């Protein structure tokens, strides 16, 4: 069900090529895996929608398709459920009867689904190259080295790791092993509160912005309570004294998509559209979040717009597939929704899952062939599960 673009949705100008190319090449070291090996149908095939429908019908209850809110419309159309990272993790765990979980999202989400589902279930990512550049910013080796630095500074014993869902299974396993929890953008404050009951400091991985925004905006800490650990510098670029004085040790990672929004974007839109409400994702930089009216996960963004009165105006700072879909959906209700930035801001790796990849994955499953299975090493999975279950049990 593709809807026409409403007249009042201003499509932003194209962004620099580099951003669009993110995730295009094969990179075996990346969390995102390698190029998709599949024999894909041509994007121009006029029967793709029909083929996806037929394969899904043939599979029936054997398959459960999950779709993250940043997925393309053509993919969302075939999702049994849509959600933010937290909701999708819960939904995957709640379907033990489905033999195949087709995850339309990115690699770390499919890994989490594999960890949370039963041994008999198989998780499929329609394109193995759909990863997350933020998750790639913290490798297992770098995090182990960081823990050594914290140990030398005498603070590891009182530090609890809290890792954003947007991290590899290895990082989740490290977190579980060291008594920490996973969080998403919808429960980060609860995760930090829990962690501060277990220890004195938090090592927050890998998104510095979510960590800082939650600590400062939501929990009233000061910017001085936070230090930034740079994995590319010896000792993280911090002294033992700085580590001892900090409450939040933030990993120097970020989302390149949300990094596009700036304070200028907020000021510009307020000038252009008087009375506009600025609603942004907490992966945005601190000055953007501080200047916004509302901040929350993709699910929160949708709920806020659902509850908004007719005639209200909104500038949204998150990925463009979602913003465009919401602008289309709410145009008929007289809610004006614009994109916060002036240039295109798709998540190119989320965008890798398109209809040809989905058709290929579904038709292969329907023919009895499991393709692009995401399978986490059992030891890594056991420790990751510990951390994920701590998150699912958060009060």
Binding residues for ligand SF4, per CB under 6 A? 106, 132-134, 166, 255-257, 283, 319, 347, 349-350
CA distances to 19, 93, 214 from 131, rounded to whole Å, are 14, 21, 25
Residue 297 binds which of ligand SF4, ligand 13P, none (CB < 5-8 A, kind-dependent):
ligand 13P
- Is residue 31 involved in binding ligand 13P (CB under 6 A)? no
Longest dimension (CA), the chain: 63
Tokens representing 347? 């998540």
- Is residue 163 involved in binding ligand 13P (CB under 6 A)? no
Tokens representing 276? 């506009």
* Residue closer to ligand 13P (CB basis): 62 or 303: 303
Segment interacting with ligand 13P (CB under 6 A) among 78-86, 330-338, 372-380, 383-391:
78-86
Name the nearest CA neighbour of 141 among 179, 171, 116: 171
Q: Which of 15, 71, 82, 85 binds ligand 13P (CB under 6 A)?
A: 85
* Residue closer to ligand 13P (CB basis): 135 or 226: 135
Residue 112 binds which of ligand 13P, ligand SF4, none (CB < 5-8 A, kind-dependent):
none
DSSP letters of 156-206?
GGGEEEEEESSS-HHHHHHHHHTT-EEE-TTTHHHHHHHHHHH-SEEEEES
Residue 84 binds which of ligand SF4, ligand 13P, none (CB < 5-8 A, kind-dependent):
ligand 13P
Least Cβ distance, residue 184 to ligand 13P (angstroms) = 5
Segment interacting with ligand 13P (CB under 6 A) among 46-54, 58-66, 80-88, 231-239:
80-88
Tokens representing 122? 């198989």
Going by their DSSP bridges, the two strands 373-374 and 122-124 should be labelled as antiparallel
Least Cβ distance, residue 137 to ligand SF4 (angstroms) = 10
Residue 349 binds which of ligand 13P, ligand SF4, none (CB < 5-8 A, kind-dependent):
ligand SF4
Query: What is d(CA 120, CA 389) in angstroms, rounded to the nearest whole number?
Result: 19
Residue 383 binds which of ligand 13P, ligand SF4, none (CB < 5-8 A, kind-dependent):
none
Q: Is 238 exposed, middle or buried (0-12, 13-18, 19+ CB in 10 A)?
A: buried
Q: Which of 117, 297, 321, 384 binds ligand 13P (CB under 6 A)?
A: 297
Tokens representing 240? 């033992």
Looking at residue 80, the DSSP 8-state letter turns out to be S
Torsion of CA 80, 82, 21, 46, to 10 degrees: 40
Query: What is d(CA 281, CA 197) in angstroms, rounded to the nearest whole number?
Result: 26
Least Cβ distance, residue 115 to ligand 13P (angstroms) = 17
Residue 184 binds which of ligand 13P, ligand SF4, none (CB < 5-8 A, kind-dependent):
ligand 13P
**Residues 95 to 134 in contact with ligand 13P, rule: CB under 6 A:** 132
- Is residue 185 involved in binding ligand 13P (CB under 6 A)? yes
- Is residue 184 involved in binding ligand 13P (CB under 6 A)? yes
* Residue closer to ligand SF4 (CB basis): 168 or 364: 168
Torsion of CA 20, 335, 299, 371, to 10 degrees: -50
**Residues 240 to 279 in contact with ligand 13P, rule: CB under 6 A:** 255
Residue 133 binds which of ligand SF4, ligand 13P, none (CB < 5-8 A, kind-dependent):
ligand SF4
* Residue closer to ligand 13P (CB basis): 215 or 255: 255
Least Cβ distance, residue 164 to ligand 13P (angstroms) = 9
What phi-psi label fits residue 337: left (phi over 0), alpha (psi between -120 and 50 degrees) or beta? beta
* Residue closer to ligand 13P (CB basis): 298 or 364: 298
Compute φ and ψ for 201, nearest 5 degrees. Answer: -130, 160
In our burial notation (b when 16+ CB lie closer than 10 A, e otherwise), range 339-351 reads: bbbbebbbbbbbb
Going by their DSSP bridges, the two strands 100-104 and 63-68 should be labelled as parallel
Footprint on this chain of ligand 13P (rule: CB under 6 A)? 69, 84-86, 132, 166, 184-185, 255, 281, 283, 297-298
């Amino acid at each position: 069900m593709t809807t026409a673009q409403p007249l009042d949705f201003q499509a932003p100008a194209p962004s620099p090529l580099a951003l669009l190319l993110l995730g295009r090449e094969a990179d075996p070291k990346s969390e995102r895996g390698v190029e998709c090996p599949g024999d894909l149908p041509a994007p121009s095939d006029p029967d793709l929608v029909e083929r996806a429908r037929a394969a899904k019908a043939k599979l029936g209850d054997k398959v459960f398709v999950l779709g993250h809110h940043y997925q393309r419309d053509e993919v969302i159309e075939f999702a049994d459920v849509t959600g933010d990272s937290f909701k999708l993790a819960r939904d995957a765990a709640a379907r033990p009867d489905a033999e195949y979980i087709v995850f339309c999202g990115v690699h770390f989400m499919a890994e989490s689904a594999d960890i949370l589902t039963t041994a008999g279930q198989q998780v499929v990512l329609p394109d193995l190259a759909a990863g997350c550049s933020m998750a790639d910013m913290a490798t297992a080796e770098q995090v182990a080295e960081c823990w050594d630095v914290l140990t030398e500074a005498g603070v590891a014993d009182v530090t609890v790791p809290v890792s954003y869902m947007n991290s590899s299974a290895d990082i989740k396993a490290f977190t579980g092993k060291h008594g920490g929890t996973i969080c998403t953008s919808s429960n980060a404050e609860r995760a930090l509160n829990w962690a501060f009951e277990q220890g004195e400091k938090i090592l927050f991985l890998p998104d510095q912005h979510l960590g800082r925004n939650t600590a400062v905006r939501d929990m009233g800490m000061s910017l001085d309570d936070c230090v930034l650990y740079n994995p590319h510098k010896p000792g993280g670029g911090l002294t033992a004294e700085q580590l001892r004085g900090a409450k939040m040790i933030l990993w120097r990672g970020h989302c390149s998509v949300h990094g596009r929004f700036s304070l200028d974007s907020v000021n510009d839109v307020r000038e252009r559209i008087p009375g506009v409400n600025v609603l942004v994702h907490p992966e945005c930089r601190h000055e953007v979040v501080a200047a916004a009216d509302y901040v929350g996960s993709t699910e929160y963004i949708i709920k806020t717009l659902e509850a908004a009165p007719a005639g209200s105006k909104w500038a949204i700072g998150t990925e463009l597939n979602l913003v465009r879909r919401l602008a289309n959906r709410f145009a008929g209700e007289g809610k004006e929704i614009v994109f916060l930035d002036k240039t295109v801001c798709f998540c190119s790796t989320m965008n890798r899952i398109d209809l040809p990849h989905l058709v290929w994955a579904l038709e292969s499953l329907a023919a009895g062939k499991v393709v692009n299975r995401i399978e986490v090493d059992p030891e890594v999975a056991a420790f990751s599960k510990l951390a994920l279950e701590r998150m699912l049990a958060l009060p």
